[in-house]
Amino acid sequence: MRAVRLHEVGQQFQVDQVPDPVAPPGGAVVRLETAALNHRDEFIRVGLYAKIQLPAILGSDGAGVVESVAPGVDSSWVGRKVVVNPADGWGSDPRAQDTKTFLIRGMPKQGTFAEKIALPLDRLEPMPEHLSWPEAAALPLAGVTAYRALVTRGEVKRGDHVLITGIGGGVATVALHLAQALGAQVSVTSGSEEKLQRARGMGAVAAVSYKQKGWEKELVQQAGRPPSLVIDSAGGPDFGALVNAVAPGGRIVSYGATRGPAEKLELTRVFFKQIDLRGTTMGTDDEFRAHGHRRRVPRHAEAGRARAGPAAGGPRVSALAGRRGGPPHGAVGADGQDRPELPRVKTGLRRLLSPD
């Protein structure tokens, strides 16, 4: 089969011929129809990730059709449309992953940037019938991260005012739809006026640029009240502004630090305002199922990110993995924050796998 592999840090991906995978005991082989490109893949490519082991087939998200199963596995699995759970080895404690066993697929284990992948059955979930192939591939990593941040760690409730930073990113856009579906009001920040406009059109009650001095005061003025919950992926120099913005007794949930370490964090404000600072990463298997596949979230929230378009974190399709050696299908940009490297990587993948 063809697979997109990274051989050395700093190099571009390249297409290799590799042996077809074999179903593990009790598992299956999935013929991938679509895969998603995340920040994680680019971070690995440029060396900004821990314990890099190369060469590797990257890619955490994917959707496809079960092609074959291991001996003894129910043959009715063959032909089923499935979505890949991108995480493995969470452990027994739902409060936090086991750091000795937890991993995200796509380095060191084979990822989804290939025509096929072999997985245990417990890493496969039924593909919701109302989703297209690109939508199904765009949902897993971003969806489970947003769900855990909002529901489990953020304890969002109907009527809450939720501030989501970095709108336009994949997780942030899923979080916007999910929070609205759960009855919360949503405010957003971004450095892009285009993304702010799109977010307003998607129902955000306030939308401000984090580049504006004192933006947190403008956000509260637009929304009419401070946020009770903040979902943040940026960290960096504006993290202190989140402490200023959040309501007394509020919660700040961090799932990333794309802008670097938090700066000028006044701990006196944290304890005097009774603020909870909480971290979150990915999610458990139960959270993965709950965020879409048990239908607890309305359809428009489940698929909204993939339909929102490039300016709001939706898919930008480029060729990735062919079906049975035929014309390439799609790779969906699943994490579209303000980072110029990702479009170039998508272009490179398209060029590498072009049938011409």
**5 DSSP β-pair partners:** 14, 57
Distance CA 36, CA 334 (A): 5
Q: The whole model's pTM is what?
A: 0.84
Is 144-279 assigned to CATH 3.40.50.720?
A: yes
- pLDDT for 197 equals 97
Q: What angle do CA 145, 280, 175 make, to 5 degrees?
A: 35
- The class of domain 2-127+316-352 in CATH terms is alpha beta
Pairing outcome for strands 161-164 and 185-190: parallel
Q: Domain ranges for the chain, please list them.
A: 2-127+316-352, 144-279
pLDDT of residue 260: 87
Q: Can you give the pLDDT at residue 323?
A: 32
- CA neighbor of 12 nearest in space, from 91, 113, 88: 113
**In the sheet where 2-6 sits, what is the strand order?**
14-17, 2-6, 56-57
Tokens representing 148 are 């855990």
pLDDT by residue for the chain (356 residues), tens only, comes to 999 999 999 999 999 999 999 999 999 999 999 999 998 999 999 999 999 999 999 999 999 999 999 999 999 999 999 999 999 999 999 999 999 999 999 999 999 999 999 999 999 999 999 999 999 999 999 999 999 999 999 999 999 999 999 999 899 999 999 999 999 999 999 999 999 999 999 999 999 999 999 999 999 999 999 999 999 999 998 899 999 999 999 999 999 988 888 888 889 999 999 999 999 999 999 999 988 644 444 444 444 443 433 333 332 223 333 333 332 333 333 333 333 333 334 433 344 444 43
The strand pairing partners of 125, in sequence order, are 83
Residue whose tokens read 């390249």 = 14
Residue 245: predicted pLDDT: 95
pLDDT of amino acid 292: 63
What pLDDT, on a 0 to 100 scale, did the predictor assign at position 296? 41
> How far is it, in rounded angstroms, from Cα 121 to Cα 78?
12
